[in-house]
Structure formats: structure tokens, C-alpha cells
Amino acid sequence: MVSIKKDFVDNMFSVAGKVALVTGATGALGKVLAKTYGYAGAKVMMTGRNEGKLKELEDEFKAEGIECAYSVADPADESQVESLVKATVEKYGEINILAVCHGYNKPQNILEQSVADWQYIMDADCKSVYVVCKYVAQQMVDQLNGAENIASGQGGKILVVTSQRSKRGMAGYTGYCTSKGGADMMIASMACDLSAKYGINVNAICPTVFRSELTEWMFDPESAVYQNFMKREPIGRLAEPEDFAGYALFLSSNASNYITGAACDCSGGYLVC
């Protein structure tokens, strides 16, 4: 028996009226995802460590009619994350979507990298994911109103940006590959904790290199780095931040209610070559 409803199809990608919290909002991808949610009708709380950049984003977004606010926080600092969640709820009443877009890397050979530098990468890319997801997930659980609302996707959506480097090693990336691989496994485990019991879907997207201030140099078609990438990029180019907007919206909407614990390949085919 066909049970699909027209109303579901018409609205399955909608996040209108939802509250989306975006970490790393001042970064290239964080900004794109925050604006994507805003254009789609969500109320957006942006966070990062640079208040000046956050204020610029707020002004830019509001000029385009996006309902938004910002709260300064270091995602690896438990007390600051707790305050961030509180500020979001005070502003918008709840949190329905979490998009974790922050990250850090300092490539070095293991023989040259200090333990302190390695630990900083782990804290920035793995511990911080745990802290943010823990506090937001608790808020999502607290705002459930009875067992009737504990259905797949109805408790909330958590989306974490990891990397295709979570699947493959790379010289100089003993910190980054480890942190992103750990984040993927953490997401799988969080899904086991949160999805069936609380209706919270938890997924990751694993992009390849995308354009940002830090990666712009890789986009020179004449460079050896770019040419090496093209040997393993079936899609024929490196990524732009907006290439991930649709995937993020999908994983934040009812269209993805049966997807949880997934580390979704967004590498332009890099991982299949």
C-alpha cells in the first residue's frame, strides 16, 4: 500500500520556522550553511570566537530579511557552550537543528609536531564536537513534549562537518585525520544513543577541499596540488562551500528522517578513486 502523502512531499525539505544553531559561522562553509538555513525560513543563531565577524554576518543577514542572532563562544569550552545553548533558547525558545562547522588543522610530520599541537587539533576537531553535541542534544531532549513527539527526526537534527580525511590517511595529517575519524565514530555512537530513544538524527558530511581563505592557493590550475587532486576528482573540480548547502538542508529536514549515524561522502567522488 502506498502511504506517501502529498503534504509530506511538498514540505519534506522545509526547515521554515525551525531554530538552527551554526558553529564556525564565520568560516566559509559555516556562513554558507547559516545563510542557507536563513533563506529557507529558519531562525539562525550563529556562533564563533570572533565577535567582529559575527556582528558583520548578523548585519548582512538581517539586511536580506533573515531572522538571526549571534553568541560568541569557543566550542571546546564547556562553560561557554553551556552559555551559548542558554542564549539560543532565551532568544528563540528551542533548538531544532545543530550544524557543527568549525575546525582546525596544523599539518606537520609526526616527528616534528609537538604533543601539544596534536592535542590542540584533537580538542578543536573532536572534543569540541562532543561538547557542543552533548549540550545541544540535552536541550533537544528537554524540549520534547511527551512520547508522542519522540519519532525519527522530530527530536532534532544534528549535522557535523568532518572530512574525507576521516577515511584516508595523509602525510602531515596525524592530528587532523585522527580527529576527523574520531568525530565520525562519535557521530555513529551518538546516533545509537539519541535516535531511537529521543528522535534525534545525527549525521556527518565528509567534504573534500572547498574554497576558503585558507585553501584558495590550492585552486590554481597550474599548481601541482590542484593537478594531483584532479587525478582523483571524478567531478572534475574542487568544491565551493555552496556545493554542500543542499546536503546540509536535506540532513536537517524531514526528508532524511530515516538516516542517522551516517558519514556522508561529499568528496566529488574522491573517495571512490
Active-site amino acid positions: 176
Rg, the chain, Cα only: 18
* Residue 93 backbone class (left: φ over 0; alpha: ψ -120 to 50; beta: rest): left
Cα torsion 41, 46, 51, 54: sign: negative
Instruction: Compute the distance between CA of residue 191 and CA of residue 53 in angstroms, rounded to an integer.
Output: 33
Residue 23: beta bridge partners?
A: 100
- Tell the residue number behind the cell numbers 569540541, with chain if given: 128
Buried b (16+ CB within 10 A) or exposed e, 76-102: bebebbeebbebbbeebeebbbbbbbb
HSE (side-chain half, CA atoms, 13 Å) at 170: 19
Sign of the alpha-carbon torsion through 170, 174, 178, 180: negative
67 alpha carbon, distance to own chain's centre: 20
Q: CB–CB of 12/255 below 8 Å?
A: yes
Backbone φ, ψ for residue 160 (5° rounding): -120, 130
